[in-house]
Structure 1
């Protein structure tokens, strides 16, 4: 696991419920459980500050890190999608985004592509992306964040005259490949779930082990956000195994969360100049606060 990816998981799955700010020493201790050195943690936080994803403030001789608005946007969207249930029906509208970014802004163009893949859009042709999901708010937030008004146009349409819906789905997304990866997740984590149940019931699973298992679980499951578009039920195959994978994710997450949060609280240190209003219940069960 790369330091930056682990940092995002820690902020999204734990730190956000405890004031959103953490002492660098606590980060170093937690990330050491994944074999990441102190120098790697400090290097990753510095780069994320330079990329406007984290901000740092000093209190006495200690440094405390929190997410910037840009970092929060990425985290909050990811958390919402990881812990939500995709059981909505299609509202009958395609969202169509077109953009044309000049060559001298190639990095910006690449960033737009990453954002669109993250939100579940499918590529139809060069500079044209579509989605059946109500993502207008997220896309306009992206436009504002990257100042894309001069380069983008967002439409919504109840029909596509030249092609049917099935053609659009097959062109924009590879659902068979996604199902195959979900199956790999199921085959990997189904026996692990049984093993973890035995260890929890036998009281042989330590808090730090539960913490590590939860982080890895979320980290691996979160990768589906870059592949699964979160289609409405109307567009999913009848034997869609994404729901089975999600149920398995939920059961394992809830099985080990109390111990995982207990370890986090034993290591976490916030700045002494703030009054911490922690939400332990939400950290244990983030599913309860997310709705789609």
Structure 2
């Protein structure tokens, strides 16, 4: 799963345990609604968000905002009022599953993908969309008009371009860095590694205490912890698109952050799901 308009939050503030309600709601939908066609009742959503400290007025306000943005749409199911994910939201969540829930770090032998695009002045709004989407996917800027990413992002990039009808404006190339200069230094210019370190550090600070608890978490506590950790994590694999470890600072903090996320996922995922199923079925 990933952002639907905003969940990857490529320009977001550092992860905190006070994520905005709409971000938590999208996480809940991404995790638990797709097995039922993307639908959750309003009553279930209010009950689940209460476990996260979000009151009913905030839930309803956030749902309205997500509806206006085309992420959720109203639908009744078996007489119950609720909301389902839009087709666009479902497509973007599917795109994000691979990025967020799998460890994927490129190596130097994998090569790079370059993206270049040309948009007529009469359609310059599409230029902004292209730049925003390439940034969201984790591209760096090698030179004006030349975007670069690890080669394994090809499929996700091509899918995004086709989904948004932008493929006629862009070309994708695959290649190697042959010369000149220190590639690690260039990577630090193409991507803001200092900001990444700050964000990873904030993630570790916020969520490492959960892993240090010795006791087994109760189901409701596991649910709240898992939704929070995933809400904070899901933006990070987009800001760090799996850059080769050889080009990153020694002891790269992103690897420690990933270790923490997957350890928490292993601990919390099943009791969290059990809590959701108990809440939904009443």
Q: Partners in 1 of 2:20 and 2:205 — Cα distance?
A: 24
Matched, 1:175 2:175: no
Runs of 4 or more above 6 Å deviation: none
Deviation per CA, 1:212-252: give whole Å up to 9, x if none: 11111111122313421211344333322222221122222
Matched, 1:264 2:273: no
Q: Partners in 1 of 2:169 and 2:141 — Cα distance?
A: 17
Partner of 1:96: 114
- Match among 220, 227, 232 for residue 220 of structure 1: 232
User: Could you state the TM-score of these two structures normalised by the residue count of structure 2?
Assistant: 0.79
Q: Tell me if the contact between 1:26 and 1:267 (Cα under 8 Å) persists in the aligned partners.
A: yes
Q: Partners in 2 of 1:139 and 1:116 — Cα distance?
A: 8
Q: Tell me if the contact between 2:29 and 2:40 (Cα under 8 Å) persists in the aligned partners.
A: no
Deviation per CA, 1:38-72: give whole Å up to 9, x if none: 34433433443443323332235423433233212
Inter-CA distance 56–102: structure 2 relative to 1 (3 Å threshold): farther
Q: What CA RMSD, in Å, does the superposition of the two structures yield over aligned residues?
A: 2.9
Matched, 1:38 2:50: no
Q: Give 3-state SS (helix, strand or coil) of 1:229's partner.
A: coil
Partner of 1:16: 34
Matched, 1:69 2:87: yes
**Unaligned regions of 5+ residues in structure 2, if any?**
1-18
Matched, 1:58 2:95: no
Q: Partners in 1 of 2:202 and 2:68 — Cα distance?
A: 37
- Match among 192, 203, 207 for residue 219 of structure 2: 207
Partner of 1:192: 210
Q: Tell me if the contact between 2:106 and 2:150 (Cα under 8 Å) persists in the aligned partners.
A: no
Inter-CA distance 66–228: structure 2 relative to 1 (3 Å threshold): same
Q: How does 1:106-125 map to 2 (within 5 A)?
A: 108-125=126-143
Inter-CA distance 66–269: structure 2 relative to 1 (3 Å threshold): farther
Deviation per CA, 1:52-93: give whole Å up to 9, x if none: 323332235423433233212322233322221124434443
Inter-CA distance 40–191: structure 2 relative to 1 (3 Å threshold): closer
Length, aligned pairs only: 264
Q: Tell me if the contact between 2:118 and 2:169 (Cα under 8 Å) persists in the aligned partners.
A: yes
**Unaligned regions of 5+ residues in structure 1, if any?**
271-292
Inter-CA distance 99–160: structure 2 relative to 1 (3 Å threshold): farther
Q: Tell me if the contact between 2:130 and 2:166 (Cα under 8 Å) persists in the aligned partners.
A: no
Q: Give the drift of 1:129.
A: 1.1
Inter-CA distance 172–214: structure 2 relative to 1 (3 Å threshold): same
